[in-house]
Amino acid sequence: PEDHAAETSDDDIAGLLLSEEAARRYIALSKISTGETSDFTEIFLKAFSCEQDTFLLSMMLTMVREKKLAGAYEHCCQLLSHVDDRVRANAVEAVAATTPAGASYDCLLPLLKDKYSRVVANALLALYRQNRVEIVSEIKSMLGKGREAFKRSALYVISQLREPILVPILEKMLHDHNPRVRDSAFQILHDYSDARVSGAVILLQDVKKQIELEKGKDKFFENSLDKVFAGVLRMLRSVGGDSTADAERKIFERNPQAEKHALLQLGQKCLQQKIVDDRTLETISSIDSELRHIEELIKTAGLENADDSVNEEARQKSELELLKIEKMSLMNRRESILTFLAFEVYSNRAHLDTRSASLLMTDLGRVDANICSYIPQHGFSMLPEETAAISEFFDVAMRLYQKHVAEFSIYTLWQFGRWVVMGFVLFFVFGMFSAINKIIAGLFALIFLPYIAYKTLGLLVEWKINVALMVDDGIHGRGYNKERIREKAGELYVNVFASSLKKHLMLGLWFFLAMILSGMLLAAGQVTSTHTVVSDISNLLAMMLMISVFASAYFKYLLVETAAILEPARDAFSTAETLFLRDKAKLATLYIFSTFIIQLVTGTSVEIMNHVSSTLPSTLGTVLIVGISFVSDMCLAPIVFSTLCIYTLVNLKKIR
């Protein structure tokens, strides 16, 4: 019977196309679309003008677009306001393909505000190709709706145009909370790069680097020395016949099927627990109702008493296929809605109430374990959490220092060397003037001591800027680029120096105030010439008062330089005060803890050198100990400041 049906004549096709039964019209359209029959343009346009079935209407509109049937233009324009989303979307494509030369595209402008994403995307493409819209603002408007469907439609538009002005939007979508959106954006970026679109190649390289950094996050702080030691250990194990050295670890491999299954489970669980908005619930209920109805129709299909003619058999088979197609379409739509719901819940899991979080804990964990996107949502960072312990902040700073110990140490010693040379020159000149005349030497010292202090502060500011930028680059996985850091440091210097100078002047005033207050307390304790317990208590209280007053200002201004370097757009003092007020005790403890640990390390190195120096002449041993202690202090100095930089970056990230 199938072979007989395939030999349908042109007259039969025309009859089927004008039939009242949708199944017969579907058969005719299938024949026409495959090009197996002669031209049916006239009869097709007649059937098109009176078709009411949305599925067949969408199919006809696709055929109009592919065959560019100009005679269908007017009816396509009328279908732009059809109630069915798919019909409107296909109508836009058909209008764009059949619009006569010189005709207006104004009929498509209202569709930029349509509720269906595909309609908006098709209208935007058609209007942009006629220079009727500003593409960037319209795509941003689509993204502003927040729904995944609009994001994916926006990506479709971007993929079709390949314009350099769209690369920044593509970059933003690479950090979307939805992994599927990020993956699609990454694939489009590959296409842009292959087409040599301006900016796409560099962006692709950056994203690939971010992916590699994320994959190797566990080994990020390894330096070349660690790799050498690891290689030696592997060699020793292999020589020793350690079978565990070559044991293969079973790594959990993620795949799209497992991801989809986990998302559908989460979506279904949300549906069962009513953790869903009313609109989505209504849509799912409507789809379920339609599915039940189609299931009943499939069960009863072919059971009616009918003649055994070829046309009747073809009709029944066509109806059954149409029902199966519609069922599959509804099931896919239901899965898409559940997947979207699951993504929304997963992305906003931090904001779930206690009950919902408890009910979905297992399913959220399953999704987290199966998300197979390798495109990181946020830029790579090894920053600890804001709630991390003080020791974790110091640990990250220490490990970063160990990874880049050469760069930190060499630059620190270089800046210190510059200061030593400057001091030596001025001291030499002062010695020459002293040999000539004491008064001239005193005037020289009076003039140049403030200059030395000014230049010392300048060198210190340069050092802090460079170290902070090295920390910022290092903690975010960016390679050390000396030229780039030097250029950026030059841009920041004036503002950071002004902030640092103001900070030290303010600290000087606070220290003067602390001295006055403690002096008053000391004077009160020494009213009598006799030394008593009261005198000792007043001395203790005076010291505590001086430390408390000065410390209150010192820790308040502690992060002024880091704020000026890492957040130059804001006022450094207000930013530093904001960070200080977020957790006063934590900041003070972090600084004291890191300083104490570094002094402990320095003291240990001096103790070790004491044992070595005992075998040397006393003078040489003393010089060696002092030199080692000083160099150790200099080389470890970046660790304390790096800890403050990391603390600043963590809190600035939270504020932003």
464 versus 217: the higher-pLDDT residue is: 464
The band of 252, judged by pLDDT with boundaries at 50, 70 and 90, is very low
The band of 11, judged by pLDDT with boundaries at 50, 70 and 90, is low
Task: Say how far apart CA 653 and CA 582 lie, in whole Å.
Answer: 13
pTM of the model: 0.68
Beta strands in 39-192 (DSSP E): none
Q: What is the pLDDT of residue 200?
A: 92
Does residue 415 carry a pLDDT above 70? yes
Q: What is the pLDDT of residue 418?
A: 92
CATH number, domain 2-218, options 3.50.50.60, 1.25.10.10, 1.10.10.10, 1.10.3720.10: 1.25.10.10
Q: Taking residues 410-422, what's their average pLDDT? A: 91
Domain residue ranges in the chain = 2-218, 256-301+308-370, 390-655
Q: Which residue has the tokens 């991801």?
A: 259
Burial of residue 347, with CB atoms counted within 10 A of its CB: 0-12 exposed, 13-18 middle, 19 or more buried: middle
The band of 59, judged by pLDDT with boundaries at 50, 70 and 90, is very high
Q: What is the pLDDT of residue 633?
A: 79
Identify which of 191, 211, 210 has the alpha carbon closest to the alpha carbon of residue 201. Answer: 191
55 versus 320: the higher-pLDDT residue is: 55
As a three-state string, the secondary structure of 272-298 is HCCCCCHHHHHHHHHHHHHHHHHHHHH
Q: What is the pLDDT of residue 348?
A: 72
Q: Taking residues 468-481, what's their average pLDDT? A: 90
Ramachandran angles phi, psi of 154, nearest 5°: -60, -40
Q: Taking residues 176-194, what's their average pLDDT? A: 88
Does residue 310 carry a pLDDT above 70? no
Q: What is the pLDDT of residue 480?
A: 81
Task: Say how far apart CA 451 and CA 8 lie, in whole Å.
Answer: 102
Give the model confidence (pLDDT) of 323-338 as tens digits. 888 888 888 889 888 8
Residue 453: CB atoms within 10 A of its CB come to 11
Q: What percent of the chain has pLDDT over 90?
A: 40
- When mean pLDDT is compared across 121-125, 446-450, 598-602, the lowest value belongs to 598-602
Q: What is the pLDDT of residue 194?
A: 93
The number of CA neighbours under 13 Å toward the Cβ of 307 is 4
Residue 137 identity: S
71, 99 contact by CB (below 8 A)? no
Residues near 388 by beta carbon (within 8 Å), at least 6 away in sequence = 650
Residue 179: CB atoms within 10 A of its CB come to 21
Per-residue tokens: 309: 């003619």
Q: Taking residues 39-47, what's their average pLDDT? A: 83
Task: Say how far apart CA 148 and CA 341 lie, in whole Å.
Answer: 10
Does residue 251 carry a pLDDT above 50? no
Task: Say how far apart CA 18 and CA 45 lie, in whole Å.
Answer: 11
The band of 224, judged by pLDDT with boundaries at 50, 70 and 90, is low
Burial of residue 471, with CB atoms counted within 10 A of its CB: 0-12 exposed, 13-18 middle, 19 or more buried: buried
Task: Say how far apart CA 228 and CA 226 lie, in whole Å.
Answer: 5
Q: Taking residues 130-155, what's their average pLDDT? A: 91
DSSP 25-49: HHHHHHHHHTT-S---HHHHHHHHH
539, 481 contact by CB (below 8 A)? no
Q: Taking residues 129-148, what's their average pLDDT? A: 90
3-state secondary structure at position 307:
coil
Q: Taking residues 384-388, what's their average pLDDT? A: 87
Beta strands in 458-601 (DSSP E): none
Mean pLDDT score of the chain? 84
- When mean pLDDT is compared across 220-234, 282-296, 436-450, the lowest value belongs to 220-234
104, 130 contact by CB (below 8 A)? no
Residue environment code for 364-378, b if the CB has 16+ CB neighbours within 10 A, otherwise e: bebbeebbebbbbee
The band of 86, judged by pLDDT with boundaries at 50, 70 and 90, is very high
Q: What percent of the chain has pLDDT over 70?
A: 86
Q: Taking residues 241-253, what's their average pLDDT? A: 44
345 versus 630: the higher-pLDDT residue is: 345
Does residue 140 carry a pLDDT above 90? yes
231 versus 102: the higher-pLDDT residue is: 102
Identify which of 82, 124, 79, 84 has the alpha carbon closest to the alpha carbon of residue 105. Answer: 124
Highest mean pLDDT among 434-443, 503-512, 633-642: 503-512
3-state secondary structure at position 253:
coil
Does residue 482 carry a pLDDT above 80? yes
Task: Say how far apart CA 150 and CA 115 lie, in whole Å.
Answer: 9
430, 443 contact by CB (below 8 A)? no
Does residue 248 carry a pLDDT above 70? no
